[in-house]
A and B are shown apart, each in its own frame.
Chain A
Amino acid sequence: MLFSERVFCGQLTLGEVGRRVLLAGWVDAFRDHGGLLFIHLRDRSGIVQIVFSPEIAAADVCRRAAGLRAEYCIAVRGEVKQRREGTENPHIETGSMEVLVTELEVLSESDALPFAVSDKAMVAGAPSAGTDTVAEDLRLQYRYLDIRRTSMRDNLIARHRIFQCVRDFLDSRGFVEIETPVLTMSTPEGARDYLVPSRVHPENFYALPQSPQLFKQLLMIGGMERYFQLARCFRDEDLRPNRQPEFTQLDIEASFIDEEFLYELIEELTVRMFAVGGITLPRPFARMTHAEAMDTTGSDRPDLRFGLRFVDVTSVFAQTRYSIFRQILERGGCIKGINIQGQSGQLSKNVLQNEYAKEIVPSFGAKGMTWMRVEDGKFESNIVQFFSELELEALRGKFSAADGDVLILIADPSHATVTSALGQLRLHLANRLGLIPSNSFCPVWITEFPLFEATDEGGVTSSHHPFTAPDRADFDPKNIEELLSLRSRAYDLVINGEELGGGSIRINDRDLQRRIFAALGLTEAETKEKFGFFLRAFDFGAPPHGGLALGMDRAVSMILKTPSIREVIAFPKNRGAACPLTGAPSPVKREQLAELGLLNLGSQDVLPGTAENENRIDRLSWVSRIGLSADERPGMEDVLAQADALALLAAQNAGEGEALYTVAPVANRTRPGIQEKCSPLAETGQLLSRAPAVKGRFFKVASILE
C-alpha cells in the first residue's frame, strides 16, 4: 500500500461517503459479531470504526482480521459508508460513519499490553476505560504506550500549541530566541547543581544550569535587547510531589524597559497561553505588594479566588483585661483574625474547639486560637466573657460581623507565626468549606519584595539574587536595619496560589552592584571568585535591563487542569526522580569512573564519618551482617585479594556482549491458572516452630535500637 494516499482516521467526514480510502494506525478495540468484525482504528488524529464483513472482504482478509489484537499496527483500504441510523457512536468524532474494509496489511504485531490503551467505548452508552487505576510507574515504564492514549496525546499536542503561541507572540514583539549552554559553570544559586565530570579536565566539573540567568544578562550586555528561550533547567532539589529534576522555563530578558513594559508583555502573553486552553483571564492583572499579601493572606503567593482576608485587630485589644492577649501584646505581639461569613452552620462549637483549636491550628505552628460565632446579634464563644462590650463592638465593626458569621483570631508574640498559621488556616477552611470556585482564575502580580532577609549571624542575604535592583540607591551598606527596609524591583506572577514565574529589573550600575555586595558582606576577592567573569562584563557599558522566567510545565498543567505536571511532560521522572522507562539514574562501570578521574576524588580529603577510610573487611562484614572473629580476619585479606584479581580478570575478558544471568529460558513466574494461596504451614504456625525464639504467633528479636 502507498502511504502517500493515506488519510487520517479522525478527519473523515460525511463528505467522503462512497470514497475508497487508505487508513493506517493501531487497533484500539474490537468487537466480534460472529464473522462480522468491528474495529476501532486509531491514529494521532482520532478513531474511526472499520468493518470486516465476509460479504465484502475476501475470505483471506477476514481470516487475517480475526487474528488482530489490541495495538497491532495495521493499514487498511476500504469504502467510507454512513452508519445505519441508531448505530452511531457519540464517543468518537467519526461516529456517524464507518469504513468497509477490502484490503488489510498487518504492519507490525503487538505483545499483550501492560495496561489498556483504549479509552473510547465502541457503542453508545457504554462506559469508557480510564487509566486511573494503572500505577503511575507502570505508565512511565511503558510511556510510549501511555502516549497512545487520548489524554496524553491531547496534552502533548496542547503543550505544543501553547509553546507555539509563546514563540509567535514573542517573535511579533521583536524578541529573538537564543540558546544558552547546558554544560556550564556552577554558580551559587538556590538549589544544588547537577554536575557533569569533564574527561578532558580530570577532577573538574560542568554544572547543568539552574536557570540561564547569567547568560541572559550577558546577552543584554551583548546588545541583543530582547531575548527569550524555552530553556531546560536542572535543579537537584529534595523530592516534592509536583517537581521535576529537569523542567522547562520560558526565559525572557529585555533592555531599556521598566516594570510596566514587562507587566503588559507578560499579561498579554499569559492571556494568549490560557486562551489556547479555552480559559479567559481577566485583565489587567491585580497587583499586590508583598507586605499586603503577607498581611492579608499570610502568603507571598496568595490564592485570591476567595476572601477570608486577614483583619488586624491588635489595636482593639490594646487595653484588654484578657490576660493571654495582654501578655502577648506586652511582648510586642499582634492579633489577627478572619471572618468566615455565613458558615456558622458548618462550624459548630465542637468543630471549632475540638478540631481547630486543639488539633489543626497547633499543627500550623500557633499555640492556640480564639473563635466566636455570631448568633442573634451576640458573640458565642468559650471565652467571650473575658472581653469587654467595647472590645466586642470594635470587633463587630472591624470584621463587619453579622449573624451566621464565625470569627477566628490568632495571637502570638511573633508576627510571622500569626500570619503563617492564619495563612494555612485560611487555605484549610477554604478547602473544607468549598469556598474555592472551580474554573476561576485570579492572576496577581506580587511586587515590592524585601531586597534582603536577615541571617541568623546578624547579617543580610539576598531574597532573590544579588543582581536584583533595589528601589533606591542611597542606602548605607553597613546599616542592617536600613538594608532590611529596602524593597526590590522584583515581581512574581501568581495564579490561584501558584507561583507561575517571577523576575526583576537588574542592577546595571557597577557602583551600586559593588555596594550590594558590600551589604552582603562579600569582599572584593570573594565577589571576584564567585562572579568575576560576570561582573567584568558590567565594565563595558551595561544597558538597563530586566526580565522574567515562567515555569512552563506548571503553566501548561494549570491550563490543561491536569492533576500533576507529569501529565504534560512526554518522558518525566517519577516521584523518586527516576525514569522507570530507561532506568536512569544508573550505576556506571568503574572503568568509566576511572576514565573520568573520579575514582580517587575526595580521598585526599576524607570527610569524617564517610565510608572511604573505613576498613574494607569491617565494611563488608557490616553490609553482609556476618561477624568475624580476630583470627578469621587475616584469611579474609587473602580472600579479598583473590576477589580483586578475579574482578580484573573478568574486566580484561568481558568484551562488549550481552550478559547472561541464567542458561534456561525464564518462565512466566505467575503461571496461568495457578491461584496464589497462603501456605497451610504458615496458617497453623508450624512454619515458626523451629525458630530460635518465638512468642505466641511472633518471632522474638533483639530490640531495634539500643
Chain B
Amino acid sequence: MDSIFFYRPPEAAVPADGPLKGMNIAIQPNVSAAGWPTDAGSNALARFVALEDATVVERLRQAGASICGSTRMSEFGFGLDGSRAGEAIKRNAAHAELVLDLMGESRLAASAGDVCGFKPSYGLVSRFGLIGLIPSMECYGILSDSLKNIREILKAIAGPDERDFSLPDETTPDFSPQNIDRGKTTVGIIKEAPGSLPARQESLYRAAIETLGDAGLTVKELSLPDFPLFLPVHKIVGAVEASSCTGRYDSVRYGVRVPGAKNWNEMYLSSRGAAFGPLLKSYLFQGTFFQFERYDAYEDACRIRARLVAGMRRLAAQADFWAIPVERGGPDAPASLADTYAQFALTAYANVAGLPALYLPPAQGRPHPGVQLSGPRLSDARLLALGEHLLNARRGGNA
C-alpha cells in the first residue's frame, strides 16, 4: 500500500516550547516548508522544493508543534481525488492536519475520517507560503480528533501577517474557552439547504438536528431562498480565479518543460497541456471561457454572491448559528467536474460567503452522518465553543 504521506522529513526539527508542545501536525505539499518537496499535487510544480517556511509552518513550530510530514493531495487541493487527508489522524500518525478548503474539502475529509474538521473565517489565517487556487474563497481547514487541539492550533496561526498583503486589517477573535448558554442559544435550520438531499439522507439529517435540542439549544427554522445559488456562484467565480491563478505555471520558472517546441507559444501550449490533470484542465477551460467569452457571467455571479453574503448576514440576526446537513463520504473518486462539485453542494456556501464552518462527527453508534455548524464571519471562537458544548453534552456533561 502506498504511503499516505507525500513527504516525511528525515528528522523533525526539535520543537520549541509552547502550547502545542508534543503535537504532531501534518500539512499538505501546497504549504511551503523550507527544503520540502512542494508540488501542490500537480505536474505544474513537479520537482519544486520550497525555499522558505509558510507563515503557518513558522507559527506552528514556534508554538511547539512538530510538522511531521505532508500528505498526498488532489491537484492544487481541488476536490478529494487522490487526497489522503484525515488518514494520518486515523492511523495515529498525526494529532492534527492542515487541509486546504476550497469548497469544503477539509469538512468532507473529516466526515470520511470520522474526525472534527474546522474551516475558519476567510481572511483569518495568513496564506503566505500557501500555493492556492481560488484566492477569494480558500483557507486552511484544520482536522483533529479534539476540538481543543483545533482551537489551540487556530489560536497559534490566526492573526495579522505583514507578509500576506491580502489579509484584511481586522481584529482577531479571542480564542479562550467560553461557555454556551443553554436555552439562550439558537441554532437555525435553513429550510432550503437540504433541498438536494435524497429522502433517506434527509431523515438522517433530522436525526442529527435532534441532538442539538438534546444539548439545550433552541432550534429554529429559517429561510434563504437563494441558498441553491451558492454552488453555481462557486463554480463560476472559482473557475475564473483558478484560471487566472494558474496562469503563472508557464514551464519557465516551475514544473516540467515538454521538449521540442518550435517557438514560445508552442512551448506554453504543450507544457501547460501536460502540466494539468484532466479534472483541473476542465475547470481551467471553464474559467477561460468565462474570462474571455462570458465575463458578464462572472460579474453576474459576483452580484449573486453579494446578495448571498447579505442574505447570510440577515440570517445572523435571527439565530446565533446555523446547522447545515452534510453528506457522508460521497462517491469514490469522481471523474468529472460536475460530479466533483456535486460532492460539495452543502459545503461550498461557507467558502462563497467566507464563513467559519465546523464538521462534528456523530456520536459512536449513531447512524446519522454528523452535523455541519456555521456562524457569522469571525464568530470562529464561539463556533468552536458551541462544538465543545455539543461534544460535552454527548458525554453527559453539564455544559
> Which of chain B's residues have a CB closer than 8 A to the CB of A691?
252-254
In the complex, chain A residues 622-638 whose Cβ is within 8 Å of any chain B Cβ: 622-629, 632, 635-636, 638
> Does B305 have its Cβ within 8 Å of any Cβ on chain A?
yes
Give chain B interface residues in 281-327, CB to chain A under 8 Å: 281-282, 284-290, 292-297, 299-307, 309
Residues in A with CB closer than 8 Å to B140 are none
CA distance A686 to B255 in the complex (A): 15
Assess A655 versus B267: contact at CB under 8 Å? Given A639-B286, A642-B337.
no
Q: How far is the CB of A674 from chain B (nearest CB, A)?
A: 6
Q: CA A344 – CA B42 in complex, angstroms? A: 72
Contact of A654 among B286, B300, B336 (CB under 8 A): B300
Known contacts being A627-B273, A650-B304, is A663 close to B353, with CB within 8 Å? Answer: yes
The distance in angstroms between the C-alpha atoms of A630 and B179, with both chains bound, is 60
Number of B interface residues in the complex (CB < 8 A): 77
B332 to chain A: closest CB distance in Å?
A: 20
B354 within 8 A of A: yes
From A668, which residue of chain B is reached at the shortest CB distance? B169
Cβ–Cβ contact B168 & A629, under 8 A: no
Q: Is the CB of B290 within 8 A of A647?
A: yes
Q: Which residues in B have their C-beta under 8 angstroms from that of A522?
A: none
Q: How far is the CB of A588 from chain B (nearest CB, A)?
A: 9
Give a binary string over B228-243; 1 marks a CB under 8 Å from any A CB, 0 the rest. 0100110110010001
Contact A650 B289 (CB under 8 A): no
Chain A residues within 8 Å of B252, by CB: 691-692, 699, 701
Docked complex Cα distance between A408 and B124 (Å): 75
The CA of A622 and the CA of B285, in the complex, are separated in Å by 11
- Are the C-beta atoms of A703 and B263 separated by less than 8 Å? yes
With a 10 A CB-CB cut-off, give which of A587, A590, A616, A661 has the most chain B CB atoms. A661
CB distance from A223 to the nearest CB of B (A): 51
Known contacts A660-B302, A692-B252, A699-B252; A646 and B165 CB within 8 A of each other: no
Q: Give Cα A647 to B167, complex, Å.
A: 30
CB-based contact B304/A653 at 8 Å: yes
A642-672 vs B, CB cutoff 8 Å, 1 = contact: the mask equals 1100110111011111111111111111010
Let me know if B232 and A671 touch, CB within 8 A.
no
- Given A626-B272, A704-B263, A663-B122 contact (CB < 8 Å): yes
Query: Given A632-B281, A669-B165, A671-B162, are A625 and B269 neighbors across the interface (CB < 8 Å)?
Result: yes
Query: Do A687 and B288 contact each other (CB < 8 Å), given the known contacts A651-B297, A657-B306, A667-B168?
Result: no
A2 within 8 A of B: no
- Asked if A472 is an interface residue, CB under 8 A from chain B, the answer is no
Residue A621 contacts which of B165, B239, B269, B297 (CB distance < 8 angstroms)? B269
Alpha-carbon separation in the docked complex, A699 to B271 (Å):
15
**A688 close to chain B: CB less than 8 A:** yes
Chain A nearest Cβ from B364, distance in angstroms: 36
Chain B residues closer than 8 Å to A642, beta-carbon distance: 286, 337-338
Tell me if B170 counts as interface (CB < 8 A to partner A): yes
Complex Cα distance, B336 from A635, in Å, reads: 9
**Residue A693 at the chain B interface, CB threshold 8 Å:** yes
Q: Let me know if A650 and B232 touch, CB within 8 A.
A: yes
Report yes or no: B170 in contact with A659, Cβ–Cβ below 8 A. Answer: no
A587-B295, A636-B282 given as contacts; is B300 within 8 A of A702 (CB)? no
In the complex, whether A640 has a CB less than 8 A from a CB of chain B is: yes
Asked whether A643 lies within 8 Å of B286 as measured between CB atoms, the reply is yes
The answer on a CB contact under 8 Å between A625 and B272 is yes
Counting CB contacts under 8 A, is A525 at the interface?
no
Contact yes or no, A590 B296, CB < 8 A: yes
Let me know if B333 is at the binding interface, CB within 8 A. no
Chain B residues with Cβ below 8 Å from A113 are none
**Contact partner of B282 among A635, A659, A688, A690, CB < 8 A?**
A635
B256 at interface by CB-CB < 8 Å? yes
| Any B CB within 8 A of the CB of A705 | yes
Is A275 in contact with chain B by the CB < 8 A criterion? Answer: no
Contacts of A655 in B (CB 8 A): 303-304, 307
Taking the nearest CB of chain B, how far is it from the CB of A613, in angstroms? 15
**CB nearest to A624 among chain B residues:** B288
| B269 / chain A contacts, CB cutoff of 8 Å | 621-622, 625-627
A692 contacts B257, C-beta separation under 8 Å? yes
Contact A623 B263 (CB under 8 A): no
Residues in A whose Cβ lies below 8 Å from that of B337? 639, 642
Residues of B within 8 A of A654 (CB): 299-301, 303-304
CB pair A663–B354 under 8 Å, yes or no, is yes
Residues of A with C-beta under 8 A to B257: 692-693
Contacts of A659 in B (CB 8 A): 299, 302-303, 305-306
CB <8 Å contact, B273 and A620: no
Interface contact B296-A589, CB-CB below 8 Å: yes
Q: Are A702 and B305 in contact, with the CB atoms below 8 A?
A: no
B352 — which chain A residues lie within 8 A by C-beta? 663
Query: B278 in the interface, Cβ–Cβ < 8 Å?
Result: yes
State whether A702 touches B296 (Cβ < 8 A). no
A510 to B114, CA, bound (A): 95
Q: What is the chain A residue whose CB lies nearest that of B289?
A: A643
B174 CB contacts on chain A under 8 angstroms: none
Contact B262 A706 (CB under 8 A): yes
Does A607 belong to the interface (CB within 8 Å)?
A: no
17 residue pairs from A and B, CB less than 8 Å apart: A617-B285, A620-B292, A624-B284, A640-B285, A643-B239, A650-B300, A650-B304, A653-B300, A654-B300, A664-B170, A666-B168, A671-B162, A692-B251, A692-B256, A693-B257, A703-B264, A706-B263
The 10 closest A-B pairs by CB, nearest first: A627-B273, A663-B354, A660-B306, A647-B297, A664-B123, A659-B302, A654-B300, A625-B268, A650-B300, A692-B257
| New A-B pairs, 6, CB < 8 Å, besides A623-B288, A653-B229 | A620-B293, A625-B268, A636-B282, A640-B285, A643-B289, A665-B170
